[in-house]
Amino acid sequence: MNDKIRRLNKAFCVEKPRVLDAGSRARANEKLRWFLNEILFAETWIHHPYNKILVGYDIIDQLEREGFPWQAERIRNHLHRWMKSISCKDPRDHADMERVKSAV
């Protein structure tokens, strides 16, 4: 019976979902990748960037608690670089520049 199921799975290309252990390095790398791609560098929370900071520090705490300081440090590094990149930008600045250009 098991042989028949294996052949059917192979025939229909059914793959088992990838399950990551809670305390594994692969899981820590997945959290790092998720935070960078889906939260930090995505166009989410544009008007409320402090939410990204809160999520970032929560992930950092989780990783440090699980014993993955390297991944936590990478998130901290990217988070600080991102905060520095937006620190001097005024969201109204682009609209004001367009108004000035059109007036001239």
How many other CB atoms sit within 10 Å of the CB of residue 56?
Answer: 21
Tens digits of residue pLDDT in 43-87: 888 888 899 999 999 999 999 999 999 999 999 999 999 999 888
Q: What pLDDT was estimated at residue 8?
A: 55
Q: Residue 86: name the closest of 56, 37, 52, 36 by CA.
A: 52
Tens digits of residue pLDDT in 18-43: 555 667 899 999 999 999 999 999 98
Q: What pLDDT was estimated at residue 97?
A: 57
Q: Residue 59: name the closest of 38, 83, 19, 28 by CA.
A: 28
Tens digits of residue pLDDT in 88-98: 766 566 555 56
Rounded-to-integer distance, Cα 34 and Cα 40, Å = 9
Rounded-to-integer distance, Cα 52 and Cα 50, Å = 5
Q: How many CA atoms lie within 13 A of 91 on its CB side?
A: 5
pTM of this prediction exceeds 0.75: no
